[in-house]
Amino acid sequence: MKEAMFYEKLEDKKVRCRLCPHFCKISPGKRGICGVKENREGILYSLVYGKAISSGVDPIEKKPFYHFYPGSSAFSIATAGCNFRCLHCQNSSISQLPRERGEINGEELSPESIILQAKRTNCKSISYTYTEPTIFFEYAYDTSKLAQKEGIKNTFITNGYISEEALREISPYLDAANVDLKSFSEDFYKKICGGHLEPVLGTLKLMKELGIWVEVTTLIIPGLNDSEEELEKIAKFIVGLGKDVPWHLSRFYPAYKLEKIPPTPVETLHRARGIGLKAGLRYVYTGNVPGDEGENTYCYNCGKLLIGRYGYRIEEFNLENGKCKYCQAKIDGVGMER
């Protein structure tokens, strides 16, 4: 166990966790919403520090990052737990384990061991992913500081539900984040995810201010967040962050508690991509549809194919020093020189 970084002590040995916008008030012997922060005699502890429930090497495109060292490998790490309870969670067996079964599983894997494995497997970055990195913040924070010293980049794949205080603390070590903007509806966030919309929007704005490279992902679920009006609102918001922010539109497949909803029609993804491009975004992608045209990166200036992808594999690369080799337009991103 490790003492939590963000909390305040209250009377009667109660504590207030300040790690995420839930700001849980936790009595002695109890845990917060995430299921991995526990109050023991007035001290808040992380129960997942150094306990990796999943680890391994992934293509950076799997996160998905399309404008952050394309073609590189990322060492991925996760613990059990999440501060959301999304009804469509693809990783519910590990994200909801502490909440639903009271279990915290995982193998001992120290921050130092993560760095060694990342170096041994020639990974350009470490991705804190699969569940929600905010809930294993102390673990990610210590690892990210060591990684930076070794020249390894750090990325969060996150729901964006993190307090401003915590985000500012880790920002010097956080190079990129892919943030799920699950909907533009407060009702969706409350009923489907167990959270609120505004804190996520605030996180995205602050990440941009702090100089963190940001990509946004929206999983499009038929009948829940696929209306033209909602997609236009999301696109408009992202344009407000910057036309350079890539928007990933992922195809939904039945999962967890939404098993009766059918997969997203590919036509819906194409329609959503058109909305994003019409709104002024330079890079809008379709995901979970291998071989679709929307997987590719095109030059926003001349329209030529720059990065051809099939799934997570890059099959064509037409960038020179981070610029379109046809018209010399600078393509937004980090490590686009490859």
**Whether residue 168 has pLDDT greater than 90:** yes
Q: What mean pLDDT is reported for the chain? A: 97
Q: What is the C-alpha separation between 171 and 160, in angstroms, rounded? A: 13
Between 338 and 62, where is the model more confident?
A: 62
Task: Centre a 10 Å sphere on the Cβ of residue 150 and count the other Cβ atoms it contains.
Answer: 11
| CATH of the domain spanning 51-324 | 3.20.20.70
* Confidence category of residue 228, pLDDT binned at 50, 70, 90: very high
Spatial separation of the C-alpha atoms in residues 99 and 51, rounded to whole Å: 16
Residue 130 half-sphere exposure toward CB, CA atoms < 13 A: 24
| Residue 264 predicted with pLDDT over 90 | yes
**What whole-number distance in Å separates Cα of residue 34 and Cα of residue 80?**
9
**H helices then E strands: how many in the chain?**
9, 21
In this prediction, residue 149 carries a pLDDT of 98
pLDDT digits (tens, 9 = 90+) for 72-102: 999 999 999 999 999 999 999 999 999 999 9
Percent of the chain surpassing pLDDT 90: 99
Indicate whether this model's pTM tops 0.95.
yes
The proportion of the chain whose per-residue pLDDT surpasses 70, expressed as a percent, equals 100
**Mean pLDDT value across residues 259-286:** 98
At 94-133, the pLDDT tens digits run 999 999 999 999 999 999 999 999 999 999 999 999 999 9
Task: Give Cβ neighbours of residue 11 (< 8 Å, ≥ 6 apart).
Answer: none
| Cβ neighbours of residue 13 closer than 8 Å, sequence gap 6 or more | 27, 28, 39, 41, 42
- Cβ-based neighbour number of residue 260 at 10 Å: 6
Please give the pLDDT value at position 1. Answer: 86
User: Residue 321: which pLDDT band, with cuts at 50, 70 and 90?
Assistant: very high
Instruction: Let me know: does 185 contact 230? Beta carbons within 8 Å.
Output: yes
The residue behind tokens 């384990």 is 97
Q: pLDDT value at position 338?
A: 74
pLDDT tens, residue by residue, 194-210? 999 999 999 999 999 99
DSSP annotation of 27 reads -
* Domain locations in the chain as residue ranges: 2-46, 51-324
